[in-house]
Structure 1
Amino acid sequence: MKLNPRQLDALQELVNIGIGQAAGILNDMIDSPIRLQIPYLQILSPTDVQEELEHHLNGEQIAAVQLKFTGSFGGIAQLVFPTNSAAMLVTMLTGEELGTHDLDSVKIGTLSEVGNIVINGVMGAISNVLQQRLNYSIPSYTEGTIATLLTSGGLSADTVVLLAQTRFIIERLHIEGDIILIFNVNSFDALLTAINQLAGGL
């Protein structure tokens, strides 16, 4: 699905607003400031997103937090990290050393909280700016391969995937992750309609 430059810019701005809000909350969780950047945003088919992520992550195992959203448009939102980046992020947030037993025990809770903050920041910005009501499920945590993750996301032929690469910058430590928003075509069309209405009113 092709978007015109105005639609793509609007989506980029909505995601940036959400990431900025999430960064503010995460800054309060640790002593070191966190900056979140989104270098690029892409609209992809299910086949293309799997190829893109497998190439980007070099086939690594991933840690992911996902939640479902319903309302004016529905789908699944996921925050995905390579497992090494996930471990580094948990260490920075909790002070637990890499490789310790305690790190494993706190990892799921910590990453679920981070995922919840980032995903809700992005989806909250989209729903608030576009004045659309959304409801969210409780976030769930999983580890595995990209293929397993995307299968759990319920990808089908009529799925549209919004992929945004995210960089967490903490004291010069670059931890990368990906935000994946999965829509069926009807839901994505509803999102674009809301964006077009907003743009038309500006």
Structure 2
Amino acid sequence: MSSVDEIELSELEQDALTEVVNIGVSRAALSLRKMVGEHVLLSVPSVEVLSRKRAAALLVQQSGDKLVAVKQNFTGAFSGGALLIFPQARSLELVRAVIGPEMPDSEVAEMEHEALAETGNVILNNCLATMANMLKRPLTMSIPQVVRGDGTDLLNQQQDDDADAGLVLFLYITFSVRERDLRGYIAMMMNMSSLLALKELLGGFIAETMDGEF
């Protein structure tokens, strides 16, 4: 049995995690709305646990080999590294969507790094803070970093000593602002023990939620 099989999420756990993350990105959308002054839609339609090799191949297959990501490490009851990933070809379009159409292209390019870091910080912080709150476990976040490369480069950013560390909680994300529809990914890289801890916390969250329905 592979390490991915051992921590495969049940349908109920996937539904619960998708719900928790969607609440997080909804809060991120409200924060981004304040930044851009326009309505922002964010959603996470699906969640998967993949090996890093499979996740990297999926990124290349769907988005090419030139990617840009905002990375933040997190520590707590479960630890790892979170990445908000977009195709590099769309990064300026994302920045333009966030800062508005009035700014000249030359200035947009100059602001790309800062705008990406801020956007990633808002989305990742809201997602992880919501997970922490709903699962009742605190998480500490690092400052955001902008990184570039192909899927393998990005997913190997996490320095792990564990032999079983090559697992990714892979979340598809849709992003709509200023009539631009963008697609990206949130990748949460965790070792086996962290994913098992998350799975246990999800079980507690599900049990508590179901108890509240009766």
Output the TM-score relative to the length of structure 1.
0.92
Tell me which residue corresponds to 1:21: 27
Shift in Å at residue 23 of structure 1? 0.4
Change (3 A) 1:97 1:177: farther
1:103 to 97, 102, 108: 108
Alignment of 1:87-126 (within 5 A): 87-95=92-100, 100-126=105-131
On the 8 A contact 2:69/2:83 being kept in 1, the answer is yes
> 2 CA distance for matches of 1:99 and 1:146?
31
Alignment of 1:27-66 (within 5 A): 27-59=33-65, 61-66=66-71
Query: Per-residue displacement from partner, 1:157-190 (whole Å, max 9, x unpaired)?
Result: 5132111111111243211111111110001111
Task: Point out where structure 2 has 5 or more consecutive residues left out of the alignment.
Answer: 210-214
- State the secondary structure of the residue aligned to 1:152: coil
- Percent same amino acid among aligned pairs? 29
Q: Which amino acid aligns with 1:198?
A: F
> 2 CA distance for matches of 1:26 and 1:106?
17
Tell me which residue corresponds to 2:193: 186
Task: Point out where structure 1 has 5 or more consecutive residues left out of the alignment.
Answer: none
Across the two proteins, how many residue pairs are aligned to each other?
Answer: 201
The answer to which of 137-146 and 180-189 deviates more is 137-146
Match status 1:133 vs 2:138:
yes
On the 8 A contact 1:166/1:178 being kept in 2, the answer is yes
Match status 1:4 vs 2:4:
no
Change (3 A) 1:70 1:85: same
- State the secondary structure of the residue aligned to 2:35: coil
> 2 CA distance for matches of 1:43 and 1:80?
16
On the 8 A contact 1:29/1:93 being kept in 2, the answer is yes
Output the TM-score relative to the length of structure 2.
0.88
Task: Tell me how large the CA RMSD over aligned residues is.
Answer: 1.8
Query: Per-residue displacement from partner, 1:129-156 (whole Å, max 9, x unpaired)?
Result: 0000111111111122222111213367
The answer to which of 173-182 and 157-166 deviates more is 157-166
Q: Which amino acid aligns with 1:187?
A: S
Q: Which amino acid aligns with 1:123?
A: L
> 1 CA distance for matches of 2:68 and 2:76?
27
